[in-house]
A and B are shown apart, each in its own frame.
Chain A
Amino acid sequence: MGNTAASAEQPDNQAGIAIQTDQLNLWYGTFQALFDVNLAIRKGIITSLIGPSGCGKSTFLRSVNRINERLGYVRISGTIEVFDQNIYDQDVELIQVRKQVGMVFQRPNPLPVSIRDNILFGHRLHNKDRRYSRSEEEEILEGALQQVLLWDKVKDMLDRKATELSLEEQQKLCIARLLPVKPTVLLMDEPCSALDPKGTAAVEELIWELRGKYTILIVTHNMAQARRASEECIFMLMGKVVEHSLTEQLFVTPASRETANYIEGRYG
């Protein structure tokens, strides 16, 4: 595998924390969607985020790479630190945040261009001044597609439109195209919910493969998936964090009544 597309080194800090929020509140206009969220998400592991629909999982995820901001009416208080840097500080460059913190959406959203151009899109954006040779680009392309276990499938059709791929392959491609930009954190918002069971299994397997190289925060409302495919788990309810612990512990001996109710399927 080409090392060009390998993940950037996970920065070191004492606590081994990738994302830390402090008293994070978020409002859509006058509607408060997040309440005093205090979380410390460990680097290099997979953390899953569960909770009933509308509890603020996507909202939280989307504030970690500041993609919420394009809505003019979103207001935030508190801090979100990514590797000890408050990403809402004045001197923080949004583009750099987005490069560090990649995001995968519920519905695969490949751009309506070729597979090759999808993968190299981010890379080309950020390397304008350095002219990359064809062979370097090929290496990045192969590296990224290898990492998402898609290379063998698409290596002979790199110039075909990405939208012609199956949904599962599209979602893998959407993960792959983040990698050449060398993110450290990957946010995934229900990445399997548009996929059939086979596709879900394949993408889950891939996410598990990426563990260690990236800090992964994955939203899911599939409890089995959270249990299978994450090391720590966060349970949210109505904009608040109810519980954050090792996945096994959260499912076997939940500390809170509400968590127990939810994982037993009493609501959501």
Chain B
Amino acid sequence: MATMFAESALNARNKKVQGLVKTLFMLMTLLLIIPVAIILGTLVYKGGGIISIDFLFTYPTDGMTAGGIFPALLGTVWLVSVALLASVPIGIAAAIYLSEYAPDNWSTRAINLAIINLAGVPSIVHALFGVGAFVIFFGFGTSILSASLTLAIMTLPVVIVSTRESLQAVPPAFREACWNMGATRWQAIRKVVLPNAVTGILTGVILEVSRTSGETAPIMFTGAAFFLPFLPQGIFDQTMAMSLHLFVVSTQVPGVPEELPYGVALVLIAMVLLMNSLSIGFRMYLRGKKKW
């Protein structure tokens, strides 16, 4: 009876198109997930067997064809931590300046453009810069410090851009509210802007952690070693690192059992995922507390 609301031919066609589009987009999403699933699956399948407490906490033996990965694991923690210590404060300070203080003029725009371009510089170029600047010019030698600073420079743009974006996502009205009660810019930033931007800032840091722990080229010439029979004692020592170790056992050393590189890769990915989920958990906790 519902003649008035009956489906017309045009309705039917639109509905069909709508269904097609939806299916297509869903397929694209699946396409995105499949490689990730295959990678993780293969790693677990081929490398899962080798993972053990011993594997994590002992040295490589027999010319790196057996034993564990402890020096590389610890080395990556060193490299990432020192890189974060350098890039997070600098990146956040720069982002605050650019977002909250810098006037909107051509030089600010030029700086912003430079930052975006910096993010696109290939990591091998950063590596060579690191050798020139930190290893040779500043005389830090091949060391954790040189390698971490190289990583820091490479990831700085990510931190700056994501921090700036989360600062700008805080409504301008909040700042005006503060200024109108006679707050200085800094008081407004500290009391209102930063607390409301912190979850976004953390996202940038998460990204940086992921990227930093997997990079190989920038640390290869600046501080990471193929093999070291001892652990680093400080930032002026060289270190092994997970990413380089993976490269070495996959391509540079003959006679490595197949499961070893898979195991190394699995641990590396697990580290990144673990750090990411910790940060995401922390973000969700903070987000739950905020409301506007």
Whole-angstrom distance from the CB of B182 to the nearest CB of chain A? 4
A102 touches B180 (CB 8 A): yes
Contacts of A174 in B (CB 8 A): 177
Q: List 13 additional A-B contacts (Cβ < 8 Å) besides A98-B179, A98-B180, A126-B182.
A: A67-B180, A72-B103, A72-B105, A95-B182, A98-B182, A105-B173, A109-B176, A122-B181, A122-B182, A125-B183, A163-B291, A174-B177, A181-B182
A161-B291 contact, Cβ under 8 Å, with A107-B173, A109-B176? yes
* B window 98-127: CB within 8 A of A: 103-105
Interface residues of B (CB under 8 A from A): 103-105, 171, 173-174, 176-184, 187, 191-192, 196, 290-292
A95-B184 contact, Cβ under 8 Å, with A109-B174, A111-B192? yes
Q: Please report the C-alpha to C-alpha distance between residue A112 and residue B193 in the assembled complex, in whole angstroms.
A: 10
Whole-angstrom distance from the CB of B109 to the nearest CB of chain A? 12
Q: 1/0 contact trace for A110-132 toward B, CB 8 Å?
A: 11100000000110011000000
Q: Please report the C-alpha to C-alpha distance between residue A65 and residue B180 in the assembled complex, in whole angstroms.
A: 8
Whole-angstrom distance from the CB of A209 to the nearest CB of chain B? 21
A178 touches B181 (CB 8 A): yes
A99 touches B105 (CB 8 A): no
A102 touches B176 (CB 8 A): no
B290 touches A112 (CB 8 A): yes
* A window 220-247: CB within 8 A of B: none
Contacts of A181 in B (CB 8 A): 181-182
Closest B residue to A103 using CB positions: B180
A111 touches B177 (CB 8 A): yes
Contacts of B174 in A (CB 8 A): 109, 111-112
Closest B residue to A69 using CB positions: B179
Is A31 an interface position by the 8 A CB rule? no
Is A177 an interface position by the 8 A CB rule? yes
Contacts of A95 in B (CB 8 A): 182, 184
Q: Give me 30 A-to-B residue pairs in the complex whose CB atoms sit less than 8 angstroms apart, sorted by A's number.
A: A65-B180, A67-B176, A67-B180, A71-B104, A72-B104, A73-B104, A95-B182, A96-B182, A98-B180, A103-B176, A105-B177, A107-B173, A109-B173, A109-B174, A109-B176, A111-B174, A111-B177, A112-B192, A112-B290, A112-B291, A121-B178, A121-B191, A122-B181, A122-B182, A125-B181, A125-B183, A125-B187, A163-B292, A181-B181, A181-B182
Contacts of A70 in B (CB 8 A): 179
Whole-angstrom distance from the CB of A147 to the nearest CB of chain B? 16
A109-B182 contact, Cβ under 8 Å, with A72-B105, A163-B292? no
B171 touches A109 (CB 8 A): yes
B182 touches A125 (CB 8 A): yes
Closest B residue to A126 using CB positions: B182
A67-B179 contact, Cβ under 8 Å, with A72-B104, A72-B105, A107-B173? yes
Closest A residue to B173 using CB positions: A109
Contacts of A96 in B (CB 8 A): 182
